[in-house]
Amino acid sequence: MTRIALIGGHGKIALMAAHKMVVAGHEVTSVIRNPDHAGDVAETGVQPVVADVETLDTDALANLLTGHQVIIWSAGAGGGNPDRTYAVDRDAATRSMDAARQAGVPRYVMVSYLGASRDHGVPQDNSFFAYAEAKAAADEHLRASGLEWTILMPSSLTLDPSRGTLDPSGDRNTKTSRELVADVICAVVDADPALVADRDLPFTDGEVPIAEALAAR
């Protein structure tokens, strides 16, 4: 059993991943901002914890994360407000990484997106620009954090069911099932850390079994 802290626990991917990880025998704490979402989260079998990661400092986040073995970041501001996007997707995310080190949590899984990088190519007048900048900064901070990191990079998301198979080639024209992202999260948690640590994982829907893709390091 692995003790997992799932930050952003009410998102579509997070709810599916939480339930799958509980079924696999793990103990999951889902961190949510809105107390009204606690019931939805609890129905997946996990322990909901209400905490606003946007406002918590590093020490408070470290207290929240102490005792866990893996952190999964699946939180996001949801777009629409650049200032809040930077506050959540960049600043809170990077604080959580610093807090993980402070709390002695060795592993960190980031849900990012396909194409995230400093050279993302999104024009500054595009509404996606703040998110692209924020994710690039957060991913960069994670890679330099000293944690055993894994960055998941799915393409545009759908509500289609997962087939449990993916394409690791990173074709941005192919969609990715949210449930597949949840399946990859679970597979990464269960994988030998040597296979998934310090690794970017771009993927879309495809035909390669997840375990086979993770083994092809």
* pLDDT tens sequence across 97-117: 999 999 999 999 999 999 999
| pLDDT, average across residues 18-29 | 97
Tell the CATH superfamily of the 3-215 domain.
Answer: NAD(P)-binding Rossmann-like Domain (3.40.50.720)
108: tokens are 């960190």
Q: What pLDDT does residue 51 have?
A: 97
Lowest mean pLDDT among 27-31, 134-138, 172-176: 172-176
Please give the Cα distance from 18 to 5 (Å, whole number): 10
Rounded to two decimals, what is the model's pTM? 0.96
- Whether the pLDDT of residue 79 is over 80: the answer is no
| pLDDT, average across residues 174-189 | 98
Lowest mean pLDDT among 54-63, 85-94, 117-126, 158-167: 117-126
Q: What pLDDT does residue 78 have?
A: 81
Please give the Cα distance from 132 to 103 (Å, whole number): 28
- Whether the pLDDT of residue 192 is over 80: the answer is yes
